[in-house]
Chain A
Amino acid sequence: MALDTAPDNASGNGRAADAPPPLDSVPKVSPGRRKLRPYLLAVPAVVLCVGILYPFFVGVGYTFYNFSAANPDPMWVGFKNFADVVTSAPFWNSVRVTGLFAVVATSVETVLGVGVALLLYRSSLLGKIFERILIVPLMIAPILAAIMWKLLLLPEVGWVRPILGWFGVTGYTGTDSPFWAFFWSVVVDAWIYTPFVAIIALAGLRSLPNSPFEAAAVDGANWWLTFRRLTLPMLWPYLLVAVIFRLMDSLKMFDIIFGLTTGGPGDSTTTLQINAYLEAITYARYSRGITYMVLLWVFVYVVSMFAVKYLRKVQARSAGV
């Protein structure tokens, strides 16, 4: 119940029979101020939002100019930047890379995360120890994780080549080819963020009621049927939170790929934000770079609106509303 209805309760319905509050000690607050209170509390946050939204709008404004280091006195060019970007091959390549990366990485992390959570949920002694160290990759800065993996994957330094050698794999070249660069980027992302999905899935598993599972066991349902028809649907509201976070985050992937491959070889791992970095910072074409980001932002915003709407529906359904 929202507290702002409390004064009405005290004087009108419900609380009327109770002893009245010690009126002399209750500070006098005018109704006007009471109404204003939440706004006053939120004012600093709104000011901060404005402080952050100001550069954002300035940035959106840049997309209509030809602002770059070579051209410090920008001119109004209308929608030329957008037209240039959406007709350029590098843009569509990075859209493809970003989309593929987001979908593959999120799927891998979700499946693996649920698997790890199910294994930890059995809570053997081993599981208890592992649960403690599960979050280690998550607490290492992604850029440092990428550097660690970069060294681990280097044929002359890292352990991956000798380990693959044990299994008879020869001709390992690290992240030199487009496919393997993408593959290892997904592996590093999964290394960091599988624990994120696992932690949320584990919390979900632990909060599920026992009785449906007992009923299923009495009815003789096997493991797979129980998992598919009971565990997964009941876990979905939790899992969805993790999936949405991972999807949104991997759409703006920067740190890991920047540290691991810097977008290469060629443009095989150039995500949208890496491309925007190259345009805006490396080549100092500010307007062009920010056009990429505005397009990505619009896409992320639309996706997140639908995702949150869907999440609310799922959560409401699971709460039995």
Chain B
Amino acid sequence: MSQKTVQTDIRRRKAWSGLFANLGLVAYFAFSLLPVLFILALSLKADADQTTTYLWFTPTLSNYETVLGLDDGGGTYIRFFMASLATSVGAVLVSLVIGVPAAYAAARYRFTGSDNLMFTLLSFRFAPELLVIIPLAVLYQQLGLYDTIVGMIWVLQLVTMPLVVWILRSFFQDFPAELEEAALLDGYSRRQAFFSVVLPLVRPGIAAVCLLAFIFAWNNFIFPFTLTSANAQTVTVSSLAWLGGNQVKFNLVAAGAVMAALPPLVLALFIQRYLVRGLSFGAVKG
């Protein structure tokens, strides 16, 4: 075989493998987007069309109007939305205030128990939720924390705290200690060095972690499902209500799911850069 035919052979093989790669990608993403497209279509169907599988229908926004409660002034949805917002933001803030010093200490100092602390926090991430929920349900009844924002913020620390501490520790570990030492030599105190040298440089990372923790807190189901009933019920849990009743309206269920899933999806657009590190708890630096 001459050099030329070998080259065209290789080129042809490359073209074929490129085609198969793209076909594979298209197949996977068809699978990946199918439920999303389906639920969007279903959420736009009128009551008469809701039990048809056809794509040919006259779209209507009336399901969204019902889910948002526009007929009764939007009170219900806004209440659930605000509860979701308050619990998620509160949980992230508490995790941040408590977690930043702990993550910094674990990254910069060697102290007895630091590994234990880190692994206790990590074990919260992997503990079955009901193990804590059952005693908490009893405890919350006694303390009056059942169905309150404060109670939710407390229990959501199981979700946000390990994430914040583990990822921030990896950020602090990556931060060159020399920069901090230089600041100390220039006469900064430890606190000043932290706030004016370290913090500004890790800020984008912290912002991404906050967003990710917020998304996971928002998306959590089992805690608000078991520990709230009306006052602190979140959007995610309340969207299940459309499944209840005598006659389930699938188009309403779909619209409810879309409205509950939308906020985290929008926020997720902003964390692409730190996503790998965030999802792997700092174990993989993408």
Residues of A that sit less than 8 Å from B by CB: 1-4, 6, 10, 18, 21-22, 25-27, 29, 37-39, 41-42, 44-46, 48-49, 51-53, 55-56, 58-59, 62, 112, 115-116, 119-120, 122, 124, 126-127, 130, 132-145, 147-149, 151-152, 154, 156-159, 161-162, 191, 195-196, 199-200, 203-204, 206-207, 238, 241-242, 245, 248-249, 251-252, 254-255, 272-273, 276-277, 280-281, 286, 289-290, 293-294, 296-297, 300-301, 304, 311
Q: Is B195 an interface residue, CB under 8 A from the partner?
A: no
* Known contacts A161-B53, A304-B123; is-contact A139 B215 (Cβ 8 Å): yes
**Chain A CB within 10 Å — which of B106, B260, B283 has the most?**
B283
Q: At the interface with chain A, which of B16-24, B57-65, B73-81?
A: B16-24
Of the candidates B35, B50, B102, B236, the one whose C-beta lies within 8 Å of that of A191 is B35
Contact A273 B36 (CB under 8 A): no
Residues of chain B within 8 A of A138, CB atoms compared: 279
Minimum Cβ distance to chain B for residue A257 (Å): 12
Contact A157 B50 (CB under 8 A): yes
Bound-complex Cα distance A239 to B166 (A): 19
Contact A136 B215 (CB under 8 A): no
Nearest-CB residue, chain A, relative to B158: A52
Residues of chain A within 8 A of B126, CB atoms compared: 248-249, 252, 300-301, 304
Of the candidates B28, B110, B129, the one whose C-beta lies within 8 Å of that of A254 is B129
Contact A158 B38 (CB under 8 A): yes
Contact B35 A149 (CB under 8 A): yes
* Known contacts A157-B53, A252-B129, A289-B134; is-contact A58 B157 (Cβ 8 Å): no
* Known contacts A143-B236, A144-B257; is-contact A41 B104 (Cβ 8 Å): yes
Nearest-CB residue, chain B, relative to A127: B25
Map CB proximity to A onto B258-282 as digits: 1 under 8 Å, 0 otherwise: 0011001101100010011001110
Bound-complex Cα distance A296 to B128 (A): 7
Counted as pairs of residues, one from A and one from B, with CB atoms less than 8 Å apart, the total is 280
**Chain B CB within 10 Å — which of A56, A148, A195 has the most?**
A148
Of the candidates B110, B185, B280, the one whose C-beta lies within 8 Å of that of A10 is B185
Q: Is B190 an interface residue, CB under 8 A from the partner?
A: yes
Counting from the closest, the 7 A-B pairs by CB-CB distance are A45-B102, A203-B286, A141-B219, A25-B187, A38-B109, A41-B105, A293-B131
Bound-complex Cα distance A134 to B106 (A): 33
Of the candidates A51, A124, A297, the one whose C-beta lies within 8 Å of that of B21 is A124
Contact A143 B276 (CB under 8 A): no
Nearest-CB residue, chain B, relative to A249: B126
The residues in B between 123 and 153 inclusive whose CB is less than 8 angstroms from any CB of A are: 123-132, 134-136, 138-139
**Chain B CB within 10 Å — which of A27, A46, A119, A161 has the most?**
A119
Contact A140 B253 (CB under 8 A): no
Residues of chain B within 8 A of A18, CB atoms compared: 185
* Known contacts A133-B33, A140-B264, A203-B284; is-contact A42 B131 (Cβ 8 Å): no
Contact B129 A273 (CB under 8 A): yes
Minimum Cβ distance to chain A for residue B12 (Å): 15
The residues in B between 232 and 267 inclusive whose CB is less than 8 angstroms from any CB of A are: 236, 239-240, 243, 250, 253-254, 257, 260-261, 264-265, 267
- Known A241-B280, A248-B126; further 18 A-B contacts with Cβ < 8 A: A22-B186, A22-B187, A39-B105, A49-B121, A51-B154, A56-B132, A56-B135, A116-B25, A119-B21, A126-B22, A139-B265, A144-B236, A158-B38, A159-B34, A203-B276, A245-B279, A254-B129, A290-B134
Contact A46 B117 (CB under 8 A): yes
Bound-complex Cα distance A51 to B132 (A): 11
Contact A241 B283 (CB under 8 A): yes
Residues of B that sit less than 8 Å from A by CB: 18, 21-22, 24-26, 28-29, 31-36, 38-39, 42, 50-51, 53, 97-99, 101-102, 104-106, 108-111, 113-114, 117, 120-121, 123-132, 134-136, 138-139, 154, 157-158, 161, 165, 177, 180-181, 184-187, 189-190, 215, 218-222, 226, 236, 239-240, 243, 250, 253-254, 257, 260-261, 264-265, 267-268, 272, 275-276, 279-281, 283-286
Bound-complex Cα distance A232 to B190 (A): 44
Residues of chain A within 8 A of B181, CB atoms compared: 3, 6
**Chain A CB within 10 Å — which of B24, B138, B284 has the most?**
B284
6 pairs, A vs B, C-beta closer than 8 Å: A37-B105, A53-B120, A141-B218, A157-B250, A252-B126, A297-B131
Contact B108 A140 (CB under 8 A): no
**Chain A CB within 10 Å — which of B131, B157, B275 has the most?**
B131
Contact B275 A48 (CB under 8 A): no
* Known contacts A136-B33, A191-B31, A301-B123; is-contact A245 B280 (Cβ 8 Å): yes
Residues of chain B within 8 A of A296, CB atoms compared: 128, 131
Of the candidates A3, A161, A206, A254, the one whose C-beta lies within 8 Å of that of B180 is A3
Of the candidates B127, B250, B280, the one whose C-beta lies within 8 Å of that of A297 is B127
